[in-house]
Amino acid sequence: MLDHVELLGFAAAFLTTIAFIPQVVQVWKSKSTDGLSLTTYLIFVTGVFLWFLYGLNIGSLSMIIANFITVILALIIIYFIIKSKK
């Protein structure tokens, strides 16, 4: 069974991962990325990818899965930002 601290980490990982779903939905529906900072998402996706590599290194499945999903969501947002700037 998970102890309280690991449960906290799991809840944290779950929230910081699903957090970007409403942003993806909003960008997808509105096709508008006004106000979204491309620099923020580029730095963020790089950082999250490093968290993913960190998870691989320490063998943490929850970190691997959570950060993999966040990378995908952030890449979708980046795609729309770059597309809308053209």
Whole-number Å distance between alpha carbons of 54 and 38: 24
Interface with its own copies, residue 51, by CB under 8 A: yes
Interface with its own copies, residue 72, by CB under 8 A: no
Interface with its own copies, residue 48, by CB under 8 A: yes
Which phi and psi (to 5°) does residue 9 adopt?
-60, -40
Q: Which of 50, 72, 79, 82 binds its own copies (CB under 8 A)?
A: 50
Whole-number Å distance between alpha carbons of 86 and 18: 28
Q: Which of 1, 58, 61, 85 binds its own copies (CB under 8 A)?
A: 58
Q: Which of 19, 72, 79, 82 binds its own copies (CB under 8 A)?
A: 19
Q: Site residues (CB under 8 A) for its own copies? A: 5, 8-9, 11-23, 25-27, 30, 32-37, 39-41, 43-44, 46-48, 50-51, 53-54, 57-58
